[in-house]
Amino acid sequence: MIIKDNQKIYIRDEYFDPTAVCTCGQVFRYKKVDNNWIVCSLDKKATIKELDGQFVIEGDSDYFYDYFDLGNDYEKIVEEVSDKPLIGDALKLGKGIRILKQDPFETVIEFIISANNLIPRIKGIIERICINLGENKGDYYSFPTIEKMASVAKDFYTKLGCGYRDEYLSKTARAICDGKFDLGLPFKQDTETAKKYLMTLTGVGPKVADCILLFAYQKYDVFPVDTWIKKLYFRLFPSANPKTQPKTMRSDLVSLYGKYAGIAQQYLFYSIRENK
DNA sequence: AGCCAGGCCCATT
DNA sequence: AATGGGCATGGC
């Protein structure tokens, strides 16, 4: 049961678990303070508290109702994927995951940073970007605007520890700021077209594009393939050629897990990483 | 002290 | 279209 008023959202629902939502790898601007989860998105902050078996979300309730995808029926989604291979155990841990509806610009930038990187380090880089280019909101910093990110030179990102992604960030921010790339377009495109379009951005390859499609554009028929999923692939297909390319893995895995493949991927990814 | 991480770019073939 | 080397940084 989910109830929303002007200030808060009250959730008593087995398909919502803030720990799983935050730590499954889809979002980086979160932290646990005392027993509460704090999640930031653009210039907003949500605080999720647990009070006698019920979760309460404080923040902009209209915005976060949508952000946490609380209008979607995850019982149906879980039902749809529950008979797929290796999902059963993953759901015990992660059935409270909800796929966030994140801002496209923030998602593009964050997942460019994610490439060949570690989650704790990704979080640190993003935090430094917000502190240096975002707005001070008192107890947190907003995510920078497109214009702000486009206004600084690439060595600004180098100094923030972005490594070789410095140029990806400045080029991509400028392309979007200059109107050479339209972040609204992928909402209207089919998954394959949107993916090709996203990959015209510097620093966005097949894996990062899949993450953006899933976490910002509600395209669920994707399957981000990283080093963890590669290991999973060979558990599913033990006789596969060891040199199987990620592209082949993606299409095999989307076929196998169906129209909610991307959501299934999150249950699996969370489960793999939680079990070290 | 190395190996590796939510991979991508680019040159070569 | 497919392959492979190089790559900044810092967790682990």
- Nearest-angstrom CA–CA distance, A35 and A37: 7
pLDDT at site A53: 86
Helix runs in A117-260, H state only: 119-133, 146-151, 154-159, 166-177, 185-188, 191-198, 206-216, 227-236, 246-257
Q: How many residues does chain A have?
A: 276
Q: Cβ-count burial of A251 within 10 angstroms (0-12 exposed, 13-18 middle, 19+ buried)?
A: exposed
Is the pLDDT at A135 greater than 80, yes or no?
Answer: yes
Distance A98 CA to B6 C1' (A): 17
Nucleotide with minimal C1' distance from the CA of A245 is C2
How many CB atoms sit inside 10 A of residue A20's CB?
Answer: 19
HSE-CB of A30 using CA atoms within 13 angstroms: 20
Nearest Cα residue to A210 out of A245, A241, A251, A172 = A251
pTM score: 0.98
**CB of residue A124 closer than 7 A to nucleic acid strand B?**
no
pLDDT digits (tens, 9 = 90+) for A164-198: 999 999 999 999 999 999 999 999 999 999 999 99
**pLDDT band, very low/low/confident/very high, at A276 (cuts 50, 70, 90):** low
Give me the catalytic one of A45, A84, A207, A219: A207
**What does the angle CA A132 – CA A214 – CA A145 come to, to the nearest 5 degrees?**
25
pLDDT digits (tens, 9 = 90+) for A84-129: 999 999 999 999 999 999 999 999 999 999 999 999 999 999 999 9
Average pLDDT for residues A121-144, to the nearest whole number? 98
pLDDT digits (tens, 9 = 90+) for A8-36: 999 999 999 999 999 999 999 999 999 99
- Nearest-angstrom CA–CA distance, A162 and A102: 22
Judge whether A276 counts as a catalytic residue.
no
